[in-house]
Amino acid sequence: MSVLSKLTRANIKRNKKRSIVTMLGVALSVALLFVVIAIPTSFWETLREYEISQYGNFHQSFEFIPGDKVEIIEHAENVESVYYAPQIEYTGDKEYLEDAVTPIPASAYEKLDSLSEEQRTADKEYIVFVRYAGPMRKASYAKPMYERYGSDISYALGEAGVDKCYMRTNSTFLVFDGDIDYNTSTVFLCLAALAIGLVIIAGIFTIRNSFNISTTERTREFGMLSSVGATPRQIRHSVVLEAFIIGIFAIPVGLILGTIATHILLGLTNSLLAADTAMVFFVPWWAIVIDVVSGFIIVWMASASAAIRAGRLTPIDAIRSTQDVNIKAKKLKTSKIISSYFGIGGVIASKNLKRSRQKYRTTVVSIVVSIAIFVGLSSFVIDGQRIVAAMYPYNGVEYVAYDASSEEFRDLESKFDLGDHVYVRDAITSHGLYVTALSSEYFEKFARSVGVKDDFEHAAILNDYVEHIHTNGSRSIERVTKNGVGDELHLKTVDSTKGDDYEGEDLIQVFDTKISAVTDKKPIGEANLYDPTIYVSENNVNVDKLVFSYSSKLFANPGDHAADVTSYIGALNEKKSENEAHISGFDLREGMKETQNIILLLAIFMYGFIAVVALIGVTNIFNTITTNVQLRAKEFAMLKSIGMTDDEFKRMIRLESVLYTLRALLIGLPIGIFISYGVHYMLGAGGIGLSYELPIIPILISIAIVTILITVVMRYSVRQVSRQNIIETIRQDTV
């Protein structure tokens, strides 16, 4: 073992705190990369297992194959394995499978792993399920393998006298088993490379400062080694060796942390989403190889700049430790505001940061990366929630039933507490207006809320406020008619199933009404409707002139009675004939809960990603600031020895904290906002009318956390230095 290697190992042991924090940063980067790879691969494997459970583990099936012809398929080129099932008769409950494109459900046939000699006879027919060997699609072929070999098998069966042979392809399973076309695979690879690249870049930027600080700390040591014959290559090798040793210990820890985090996230997914198949943990061997290699790339590239800089030092500059101070005197001028408010301590702090720009910048870069990622990626969650809310707005109801007659509605109303509810029937007119009849009790309540006080049998409430989405993503609400209160309307009511021709025999009736109120309010259950509508009571005097071309709807809030309502609807349907309209009842609470859970999962994934990246940055900031302060212990001791008071010293540290914070926020926030807008643009939120929304909350959180973090770390670091003896500290040649 060389002297430099021994010194490198001794340096790691001597600076245990910094080494452990650096290892933690590397481990978190590896863990984050593991999760980024493991979640998609686990999701992919879950879908693959689900398809196998539903249909079977095969690529193609061949039906109506005589037992004595099965061997043609078994010995066909590139057939990896087969299994069998007795031929199904497509009658009764299996009639829908005849001539269907989809594969046969696994529950519809009896699987046979092998066929005996007695079964291989011409008078017995089988379904043969085939798996092909090797990749499904090769670059040298335009068509996927199953199409090439499936056609060959069909041709061979035809040549052998099999006249009736029906071939099905398990297309969905093929996708999950690797049959992805070139364009799709390119997109997947690009997205994967982008995600891995982002994690690697974030890891490099946030960890490299630790190696820069380590190199700065060992500068005098490198100078002495160079003066006694150490070459620049050996110096560089020493820095890289330190990174390699840290990687050896940190990467396995990262893999363990990543495995734990992935299991936690999959557990949350399974508990929040009521899926038919639970998410399974699956990480292929190549993913672990990528993670390990990427971990070493992170530590190697993070240490590269420090190694190069260390190798370029001349012995004299290294021993004198002047390489970080290279600035003209006029650039050290300090603002009068700083000198008047912070005193001599503030002046020294400002000059020190200007002298040691490299150390100052490395710390700021760490904070900037964390701020930019946190603010920028927060838009994934913010816009995701807004998109889901826009696509599935809450319309004030928990339960909806379709195709119930007015008598059935009254029956449900008498037997159950439906809460706030309404029975709705729709008609369309030739004027482009909908006419919606509401149950009388709810209509009276709704009418009173918009200013109608009486005569509800004649009342008509117009809502013609329509939201327009402009090309720039902004929204405006405008009325689409000029009708006002008191206007009389004579609406032709038509059968919408007859298209746009409203003349002649298509004319049904004329619905006469007078507008009682104009409002932008909508009844419960109608939040998703954007067409101009006239609301009337089911007891309106002219309601018999309306042609209700659409299915009736019942919107209700039965609460805990929802399951009872569904059971009762099922009992009503059992009494009906096939020709009668059956009622469909849906408890929307499960759907709303699932939507909310999806939003929650999105938040967990994204904020988890952001939190880990931020934690990497925090460890690096802690490492950088504490080591910088430790390296300046001799400077602090000299200042105190010549008369700097504790108050001046504290003001100096406060100013450094303020400068760190301001510089990081002034750079990091604009970058984060730019990334945030890019995320909004990529999500296509503007396509559904969502204008860009500045992430105010993440910005405020960033300001608060950065301010508190830097203040706490600086105080901790200074307290550690203040405990040292001034004379002993000045006498030290190195830290």
Confidence band (pLDDT; 50, 70, 90) for 574?
Answer: confident
What are 258's two structure tokens? 């990543």
Inside any domain, residue 726: yes
* pLDDT average, residue stretch 126-143: 67
Inside any domain, residue 429: yes
CA-to-CA distance for 208 and 214, rounded, in angstroms?
10
User: Quick one: 446 and 576 in the same domain?
Assistant: yes
* pLDDT average, residue stretch 583-593: 75
**How does pLDDT run across 335-379, given as a tens digit for each residue?**
666 666 666 666 666 666 666 566 666 677 777 877 887 787 777
CB atoms within 10 A of CB 657: 20
CA-to-CA distance for 294 and 4, rounded, in angstroms?
26
Highest-pLDDT range among 112-126, 161-175, 536-550? 112-126
User: Quick one: 317 and 335 in the same domain?
Assistant: no
User: Quick one: 141 and 220 in the same domain?
Assistant: no
User: Quick one: 530 and 451 in the same domain?
Assistant: yes
Confidence band (pLDDT; 50, 70, 90) for 735?
Answer: very low
Q: Which of 391, 419, 364 is nearest to 554 (CA)?
A: 419
Inside any domain, residue 112: yes
End-to-end Cα, the chain, rounded Å: 26
pLDDT of residue 129: 92
Inside any domain, residue 351: yes
User: Quick one: 114 and 149 in the same domain?
Assistant: yes
User: Quick one: 585 and 465 in the same domain?
Assistant: yes
User: Quick one: 379 and 522 in the same domain?
Assistant: no
User: Quick one: 528 and 438 in the same domain?
Assistant: yes
Domain total for the chain?
A: 4
CA-to-CA distance for 725 and 735, rounded, in angstroms?
13
Question: pLDDT > 90: what percent of the chain?
Answer: 1
* pLDDT average, residue stretch 380-386: 72
Inside any domain, residue 5: yes
**How does pLDDT run across 24-37, given as a tens digit for each residue?**
778 888 888 888 78
Compute the residue count for the chain. 735
The backbone region for 419, taken as left when phi is positive above 0, alpha when psi lies in -120 to 50, beta otherwise, is left
Task: Identify the domain boundary among 573, 589, 605.
Answer: 589
Highest-pLDDT range among 10-19, 324-333, 619-628? 10-19
User: Quick one: 1 and 108 in the same domain?
Assistant: no
* pLDDT average, residue stretch 266-272: 75
Q: What is the pTM (predicted TM-score) of this model? A: 0.61
* pLDDT average, residue stretch 543-562: 79
DSSP, collapsed to helix, strand or coil, labels residue 289 as: helix
Task: Identify the domain boundary among 323, 355, 380.
Answer: 323
CA-to-CA distance for 630 and 713, rounded, in angstroms?
12
Inside any domain, residue 175: no
pLDDT of residue 734: 43
Task: Identify the domain boundary among 589, 612, 641.
Answer: 589
pLDDT of residue 512: 84
Query: In what helix (H) or strand (E) does residue 511 lie, and over which residues does it extend?
Result: strand 507-514
Q: What Cα–Cα distance (Å) separates residue 693 from each residue in 41, 80, 376, 537?
A: 33, 55, 12, 41
User: Quick one: 414 and 555 in the same domain?
Assistant: yes
Instruction: For 34-182, list the strands marked E by DSSP.
Output: 60-66, 79-86, 125-132, 166-169
CA-to-CA distance for 491 and 504, rounded, in angstroms?
15
* pLDDT average, residue stretch 648-652: 71
**How does pLDDT run across 472-526, given as a tens digit for each residue?**
555 667 787 888 888 888 887 765 555 555 455 555 678 888 888 888 888 887 7
CA-to-CA distance for 359 and 352, rounded, in angstroms?
10
pLDDT of residue 684: 62
Instruction: Give ∠ CA 129-135-141 in degrees, rounded to 5.
Output: 105
Inside any domain, residue 570: yes
User: Quick one: 259 and 372 in the same domain?
Assistant: no
Q: Which of 406, 389, 413 is nearest to 557 (CA)?
A: 413
Domain hosting residue 33, numbered range: 1-50+180-323
CB atoms within 10 A of CB 721: 18
User: Quick one: 186 and 46 in the same domain?
Assistant: yes
